[in-house]
Structure formats: structure tokens, C-alpha cells
């Protein structure tokens, strides 16, 4: 980008070049195998790679595989070593498919990372599950970006591999860390090089003691937004295996349609209700600096995809369906038939926060209070013990929450057809229905 600036002291106009970086995020599906890695190279050839920062997730289902390692570690399972070896075998096969020469330095680099993982498993003393989770699961992103960086260099694209833990600083709330924006801004603005292809890890950060933290599951989108904000980037592009943001998940709804344009506000609403294409935390830093977000296909990278920016809420304007499965519907009522008042609700929400249950829907009457929650950390059993001391507790497990933005009668019929409706809630723009299949 060419710009001019006035030198006030000498009264002259200086023409120069101001470089604005683009941030690309590639998820696990895009780098799940050697063909995926090669496709990332092809995408970069088509859309350009100078002054680009790549944020990359773990390969394929590596995070799930490392979660099994964590489970085996805490269970003291004899399967621990074999579960680590499975992860190693998966990545080694990808490396073998990418590189002709077994003496390539990528083998050494990846083996060193696995050695670090095995050292941690052998010497860790902390019983804190969330701490251990972050230290282990982070190897997925470290390994994937190491392989991708070496392959790009091998193909003639010079890269700078960045350890994101040296850039994004957080608190010590493992598995759901909060970003220290002041330190993060300082680290990124000082140390990210221009005129090169930068490659770094999504999802990760580090606390003040330099222990690895994570930003929440699917947090790589958020990582891209953090870098874009701190770099005043031109744009962020999330590369997916779909043409862009659809009005419904094609796995659950026939005839899903592409949304060409979404405003920040509408995208935040969709993310809040659980749309999985864009991470809920991603949009806020982008909106602050009006950095556009594009969701595009890594299969057809020259298609326009979806633009999220300032402007019309939706284009075209049509109902948007969001599905959240494996939800928990909890109904609380007072034991003595007294009213459920503000102080009761405040106490209940404090407990939900303490036990990390995410509330997705609320409905209350005089003597009852119902919530649909997501128990991703498996804490409901312990919470139920506390709640049962003060309330009558009823609950339905494995229910499905449907949210329809800009609903109409036909949209409502679509989600209710052949299902048992447990709860329904309507507002001007949004309909939510909890069903049992």
C-alpha cells in the first residue's frame, strides 16, 4: 500500500510504502494430511503470501488424540505410551509423504517436540488437570506448524516460524485463558517481521511463568483476531472446507445457503448462539478496528466466500439455523413453593460460573427456573449435589437446542418436525427450541 506523509518540519510530502499484513487461519481439516499441506501451498500461490501471517491448528483430530493421552496419563493406564506413539506415527506418516529426503531437518525438529512431550509426561508433578491439559494438548499446534514451515521452505517459500507463546500472554486460567492485551500488543508489534510468510500456532498462549495456556477449544480463530488487532492488519481470512458462512449446517439441513455479507453485529449474534464457523471471541477485536473478516474455501480459494464487516446485517436476508447438541436442560423449583427471586437466580448463576457450565437459554416463572447449559467440563454431577440442598432439581440430558435467527413459520416447522419439544422461547428476531430427538 502506497501512502504519503507530511514532514511538518521541512514542509515536504514524502511518498513511501506502508506494509499492511493479512492474517490467514487454517484449521485442522485443512492440514489433516500431506495433501492438505500441499493444498495450503497451492492456496498461497494463488492468493499471495508476502506480508502474510498464518495461524494454524493441530492436524486433523490430533487434539482428540492428545486428549486420550491426557486421559491415559491421569488413569495411569498401560495404554499411555501406545497413545503417544499413535500421535507420533500419524505425524511421521505425513512427514514421509511430504519430504523425499529422510535427512531433512523436519524429522529432527518434530522428534525434539515429541521428546519434550514424553519428558513432561515422565516428570510432571502437578495434579492440576487443566494445567496438564494445556501443556500436553499444545503439542498438536507446535508440531503442525513445524511441519508446515519446513514444507514451505522446502518448496521455496521462506518462512519465519513463531512460537505464539512468546507473543500472546495470558493469565493462568488454564483451558480458558484471558489475554493480557498490553503485553501481547507489545510483543507482537515489536517482533513480527514484515515482507515474509510468518507461521504460528492457534489456540495457545503463555502465563507470566511461561507455562502454556490455551484460549478455549476452537480458539485458533481468536488467535488470528488477536494478531490482526495488534498488527492493524488489512484483513483476516478463515479458510474452511465450506464456501463460506452458511445459513445452516449442511450436515443437519438440506439446501443450506451461502451468506455473502454479514455485519459484525449479526455475526456476533450468530456466534453467541453457537454458530461454529466463527469463534465467539473472534469478532470483538476485529470490530474495534473495523478489520474485515473473510470466510473462504480452501478448496476453491478464488471464490468470494463470506465477508464480515460493517454494513447490512445479512445478504441475502433469510433465517439462520444453529444447532447445539448434547445439551442439558435443568429445571429448578423451590422446595417450599416460594418464589424464585433475584437473589436465588444470582446464587444459581454464581454456581454455574464456579462449575464452568455455559448457559445458552434461560426461562423462569414464579416458582421455577429453567436453563439449557453446556457441561463441557463434566461438572454437573458435583453441581447437582449443591443445588439439590436448596432446590428441587429436574433435568434432561442429551437434548438439542435449535436457535433460529430471523425465524418464520416455515423455519419453525423445520426444527419441530417429528421431535418432542421440551421448551420454546420467542423474541422479535430469535426463536429457540429445546427438543428431545
The C-alpha cell at 21 is 499484513
Report d(CA 382, CA 377) in Å as an integer: 11
**Domain coordinates of the chain in residue numbers?**
22-240, 320-436
Closest among 58, 192, 191 to 113, alpha carbons compared: 58
3-class DSSP state for residue 153?
Answer: helix
Phi, then psi, of 215 in degrees rounded to 5? -95, 15
Annotated binding-site residue? 27: yes
Strand-by-strand arrangement of the 430-436 sheet: 358-364, 368-374, 320-334, 391-405, 430-436, 420-426
428 is in an annotated binding site: no
Given a contact cutoff of 8 angstroms between Cβ atoms, the answer to whether 89 and 70 are in contact is: no
Quick check: 259 and 245 in contact, CB under 8 A?
Answer: yes
Residues in CB range of 78: below 8 A, 6 or more apart: none
Question: What per-residue confidence (pLDDT) applies to 156?
Answer: 96
CATH class, domain 320-436, is alpha beta
What DSSP designation does 189 have?
H
Asked whether the beta carbons of 208 and 172 are under 8 A apart, the reply is: yes
Is residue 74 annotated as involved in ligand binding? no
* Model confidence pTM above 0.85: no
Give the number of other CB atoms < 10 A from CB of residue 248. 21
437 residues of the chain, pLDDT tens digit each: 434 444 444 444 434 444 589 999 999 999 999 999 999 999 999 999 999 999 999 999 999 999 999 999 999 999 999 999 999 999 999 999 999 888 889 999 999 999 999 999 999 999 999 999 999 999 999 999 999 999 999 999 999 999 999 999 999 999 999 999 999 999 999 999 888 999 999 999 999 999 999 998 668 999 999 999 999 999 999 999 989 998 998 888 888 899 999 998 888 888 888 877 687 789 999 999 999 999 999 999 999 999 999 876 666 678 999 999 999 999 999 888 788 888 888 999 999 999 999 999 999 887 889 999 999 889 999 999 999 998 999 999 999 999 999 999 999 999 999 999 999 999 988 999 999 97
For the stretch 278-312, what's the b/e string if a residue is b when 16 or more beta carbons lie within 10 angstroms of its beta carbon? bbbbbbebbbeeebbbbbbbbeebeeebbbbbeee
- Residue 141 known to bind ligand: yes
Q: Is 63 annotated as a binding residue?
A: yes
Query: In the CATH hierarchy, which fold is given to the domain comprising 22-240?
Result: Carbamate kinase (3.40.1160)
pLDDT value at residue 222: 95
H runs (alpha helix) in 264-379: 264-272, 283-289, 342-354
The pLDDT assigned to 11 comes to 43
Q: Is 140 helix (H, G, I), strand (E, B) or coil?
A: helix
Amino acid at each position: 500500500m502506497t501512502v504519503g506523509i507530511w514532514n511538518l518540519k521541512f514542509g515536504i510530502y514524502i511518498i513511501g510504502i506502508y506494509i499492511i499484513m493479512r492474517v490467514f487461519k487454517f484449521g485442522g481439516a485443512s492440514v489433516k494430511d500431506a495433501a492438505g499441506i500441499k493444498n495450503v501451498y497451492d492456496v498461497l500461490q494463488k492468493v499471495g503470501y508476502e506480508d502474510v501471517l498464518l495461524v494454524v491448528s493441530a492436524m486433523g483430530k490430533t487434539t482428540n488424540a492428545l486428549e486420550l493421552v491426557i486421559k491415559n496419563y491421569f488413569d495411569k493406564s498401560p495404554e499411555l505410551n501406545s497413545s503417544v506413539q499413535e500421535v507420533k506415527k500419524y505425524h511421521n506418516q505425513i512427514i514421509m509423504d511430504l519430504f523425499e529426503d529422510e535427512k531433512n531437518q523436519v524429522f529432527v525438529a518434530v522428534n525434539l517436540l515429541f521428546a519434550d512431550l514424553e519428558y513432561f509426561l515422565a516428570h510432571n508433578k502437578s495434579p492440576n488437570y487443566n494445567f496438564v491439559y494445556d501443556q500436553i494438548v499444545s503439542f498438536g499446534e507446535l508440531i503442525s506448524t513445524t511441519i508446515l514451515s519446513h514444507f514451505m521452505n522446502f518448496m521455496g517459500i521462506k518462512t519465519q516460524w513463531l512460537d505464539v507463546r512468546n507473543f500472546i500472554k495470558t493469565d493462568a486460567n488454564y483451558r480458558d485463558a484471558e489475554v493480557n492485551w498490553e503485553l501481547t500488543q507489545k510483543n507482537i508489534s515489536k517482533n513480527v517481521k514484515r515482507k515474509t510468510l510468518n507461521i504460528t500456532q492457534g489456540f495457545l498462549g503463555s502465563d507470566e511463568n511461561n507455562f502454556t495456556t490455551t484460549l478455549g477449544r476452537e480458539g485458533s480463530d481468536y488467535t488470528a483476531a488477536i494478531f490482526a488487532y495488534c498488527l492493524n492488519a488489512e484483513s483476516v481470512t478463515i479458510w474452511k472446507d465450506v464456501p463460506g458462512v452458511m445459513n445452516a449446517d449442511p450436515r443437519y439441513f438440506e439446501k443450506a445457503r451461502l451468506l455473502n455479507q454479514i455485519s459484525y453485529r449479526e455475526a456476533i449474534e450468530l456466534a453467541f448462539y453457537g454458530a461454529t464457523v466463527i469463534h465467539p471471541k473472534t469478532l470483538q477485536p476485529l470490530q474495534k478496528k473495523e478489520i474485515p473478516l473473510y470466510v473462504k474455501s480452501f478448496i476453491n480459494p478464488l471464490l468470494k466466500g463470506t465477508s464480515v464487516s460493517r454494513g447490512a446485517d445479512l445478504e441475502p436476508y433469510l433465517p439462520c439455523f444453529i444447532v447445539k447438541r448434547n445439551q442439558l436442560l435443568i429445571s429448578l423449583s423451590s422446595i417450599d413453593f416460594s418464589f424464585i427471586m433475584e437473589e436465588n437466580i444470582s446464587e444459581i448463576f454464581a454456581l454455574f460460573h464456579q462449575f464452568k457450565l455455559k448457559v445458552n437459554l434461560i426461562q423462569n416463572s414464579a416458582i421455577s427456573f429453567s436453563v439449557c447449559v453446556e457441561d463441557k467440563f463434566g461438572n454437573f454431577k458435583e453441581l447437582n449435589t449443591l443445588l439439590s440442598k436448596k432446590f428441587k432439581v429436574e433435568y434432561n440430558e442429551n437434548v438439542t437446542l435449535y436457535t433460529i435467527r430471523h425465524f418464520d413459520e416455515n423455519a419453525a416447522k423445520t426444527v419441530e418436525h417429528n421431535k418432542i419439544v421440551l421448551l420454546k422461547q420467542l423474541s422479535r428476531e430469535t426463536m429457540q427450541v429445546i427438543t428431545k430427538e
